[in-house]
Amino acid sequence: MAETTEEKIVVIATCGGEDPERATLPFVVANAALAMDVKAVVILQANAVTLAVKGANEKIAAGGFPPLKELMGNYFAQGGKLLLCTPCIKSRNIAADMLVEGASPIAAGRVVQECLEAKATLNY
């Protein structure tokens, strides 16, 4: 019996609400991957970690795309993982209790691990 390898994509985001399009695109791609039965992991780094603060995504919308709140909701509903750069949240004084449910702070080693396990990595 042949082994099957799970397909996985990692999408790294670095922009927050200051750039609605670049904040939105990682979740558009991740939702598309999940709809195609490809495991998706979104990693938020730099100012993108602000997107994981409760309520921060409510007013972010990029032309032609669903609102970020909807995209993130769909992403979590499909089982998507949201990983956050720990130094990035610390430098912005974001406490764990301020984060949306399902967001997990991680260190650089985990980023490397996720990327090595993926068939593709995208960066926004």
- Domains and their CATH numbers in the chain: 8-123 (3.40.1260.10)
Question: pLDDT tens digit string along 99-112?
Answer: 999 999 999 999 99
Question: pLDDT tens digit string along 53-66?
Answer: 999 999 999 999 99
Instruction: 61-69: list long-range contacts, CB under 8 Å, 24+ apart.
Output: 61/20, 61/24, 62/20, 62/21, 62/23, 62/24, 62/25, 63/21, 65/21, 65/24, 65/25, 65/28, 68/20, 68/23, 68/24, 68/27
**Average pLDDT of the residues of the chain:** 95
